[in-house]
Amino acid sequence: MAQAFAGSRRSADGDTGNVAPLRCRFAKRSLDLVASAVAVVALAVPMLVIAAAIRLTGRGPALFRQNRVGMNGRPFVMLKFRTMRAGSTDTTHRDYVRRLMAGEEPTVDGLYKLSHDPRITRVGAILRRTSLDELPQLFNVLLADMALVGPRPMLAWEVELLPESARARFDVRPGLTGLWQVSGRNRLTMRQAMELDVRYAAQHGMWQDLKILARTIPALIRGEAR
């Protein structure tokens, strides 16, 4: 997978391509590391309660692990709280995303989120509505697989559906939140979301990250960052 992205950017040690200055990248990573470490400690008890609720209300593990595509096309294992019944397939989701990519499916419940998905558990519905299912991704941030702010981490088969113009979104780490999540996520078309991801990759910096983080909580309260 990484080879497919070789042409989208040079390495961080090169002198060309869309690469943030070393100081900016160091500051961004420092913010990610410190903030995610503090958040993990502060949210340890709530996360344990959520894990227990998942285990007590249905069979299957509390955590859901899934391979995603990260910066430069490198794969990593993304963590989430499990919100679906154990053994659910992703056929329905794949069909839905393909329709989104083709511009055929209205975004009723937010991009990538099916309305009235029968696979979702009662606890899972609450976690998704509040975005609490994404809290384990703080560990992905600690491991440098993800950042606090960046494009949505995509599945390999989703990447294959992307136009070439959208590949620049992989010049940066995927994020817990991002530009399109705070720009009316449940009202955007797929093309608009991809354009915002590419814009972020081209213009990202500490100031923009701080502004996006500041907009994330109000967006969550309004239900626009789900």
Q: List Cβ neighbours of 76 (8 Å cut-off, separation of 6 or more).
A: 67, 68, 70, 140, 143, 145, 146, 153
Please report, in tens digits, the pLDDT of each residue of the chain (226 residues total).
554 554 454 443 434 444 457 888 888 999 999 999 999 999 999 999 999 999 999 899 999 999 999 999 999 999 999 999 887 777 777 777 777 777 665 555 555 566 567 888 999 999 988 889 999 999 999 999 999 999 999 999 989 888 888 999 999 999 999 988 888 666 677 788 888 999 999 988 888 899 999 998 887 766 655 5
DSSP string for residues in 145-207: SSEEESSPPBPHHHHTTS-GGGGGGGGS--EEE-TTTTTTGGG--HHHHHHHHHHHHHH--HH
* 81 falls within a domain: yes
Query: Which pLDDT score is estimated for 161?
Result: 85
Q: List Cβ neighbours of 82 (8 Å cut-off, separation of 6 or more).
A: 54, 60, 61, 62, 63, 64, 124
Q: ∠46-128-83 over CA atoms, to 5°?
A: 80
* 9 falls within a domain: no
For residue 77, the cross-strand partners are: 67
Query: Which pLDDT score is estimated for 16?
Result: 40
* 5 falls within a domain: no
Q: For residue 195, which phi and psi values (nearest 5 degrees)? A: -65, -40
Query: Which pLDDT score is estimated for 107?
Result: 54
* 14 falls within a domain: no
Structural domain harbouring 82: 21-222
Q: List Cβ neighbours of 111 (8 Å cut-off, separation of 6 or more).
A: 100, 180, 185, 186, 188, 190, 193
* 11 falls within a domain: no
* 10 falls within a domain: no
CB 138 within 8 A of CB 176: yes
* 142 falls within a domain: yes
d(CA 17, CA 71): 14
Closest CA to 9 of 159, 167, 162, 125: 167
If one counts every other C-beta atom within 10 angstroms of the C-beta of residue 147, the result is 25
Query: Which pLDDT score is estimated for 210?
Result: 92
B/e letters for 188-204, b = 16+ CB within 10 Å, e = fewer, are bebeebbbbbbbbbeeb
Domain count, the chain: 1
Q: List Cβ neighbours of 125 (8 Å cut-off, separation of 6 or more).
A: 83
Query: Which pLDDT score is estimated for 137?
Result: 97
Query: Which pLDDT score is estimated for 205?
Result: 84
* 84 falls within a domain: yes
- Helix axes of 44-56 and 22-42: crossing angle, nearest 10 degrees: 60
For residue 81, the cross-strand partners are: 63
d(CA 178, CA 147): 10
Helix or strand (DSSP H, E) at 77: strand 75-81
